Structure 1
């Protein structure tokens, strides 16, 4: 094997190792978030409601991905704030020359709030990222439920029979295909309006 071929093979092998490490890292992160308290609670509730198999697996991974995106967004935003704070501290450390008259304005006006230079172009990017993240972190209010879905929802909220509730929840999922916020909304309503059923569903594994 000539030297060029050896180098190409080495580079290819290194690239493969890096990709494999990155894939393993992502899998580990996903496994950690699959064990998150909120994801486990929603999984238990959905499972006890009759959701199982591939559908339950799909919901679990979707909820975990949403938690990952939410966490990564906050981490990136915190990193940006720390970088800007460090830059502001360095700027304030430099001694400013004393002047006897107001200086003439040159260039664009700088807007600073709590030491953060908001005139920097990167903050427009942060604003865009916040806007996109709002769809995940602060989802829209649950859409109004009417028709057969509303009838089934009301039956779930006032049901006293656990087995009957499981059947109703399974039917509710088939009709509505609920989003994460709609699942949470149903859990909150159950907690307020039918606490006994909420506790039966939540702690069924312990009985």
Structure 2
């Protein structure tokens, strides 16, 4: 610059990035369906076409994360350490039973809140069955505030999918959601992702769908657009 005076240069570093992708969950009368696409991207680059966003936590609880993929995986591993047989059965030893979905939902809220000063950059959804065997869905912000929903979407195509879910499932009309069959809910999930991939470049490749019933958790993988 003139007179040899240099302007100050601002240096900024962020440990977070948004890897795109979308997750959703719908609670039925005696089941829950939770799903996510598998594309992981950054900007206009696709890092991988198969990076799972949905994780089975127990025989009745499934976790889905959108946002920063590394934080989502780390969060799932930390929660897995608390409840799974492969890492000590801490919860089962303490309570002599498997963790229910409402209990897992509270555990996730506590875990996220414990990291509130350097939070996981994840927007989480939990799906499963409550103590009465009814489907339940919980949605979170990155610091642990959560609420129970009939249907919930999060991620890069949330603004596209959530209105569709509200119209097809009904976020306030709980009775309508209870009347939907499992076949109808699976069709709604497929339609939601098929539509989102036409309009959101960060959503695509595959749907990984987890179907939770009293018999356990079933996984399905369905192709989506790859361009």
Q: TM-score range with shorter-chain normalisation?
A: under 0.3
User: Structure 1-normalised TM-score?
Assistant: 0.27
User: Structure 2-normalised TM-score?
Assistant: 0.25
Specify the structure having the higher radius of gyration (Cα): 1
Task: Write 1 or 2 for the structure with the bigger share of strand.
Answer: 2
Task: Write 1 or 2 for the structure with the bigger share of helix.
Answer: 1
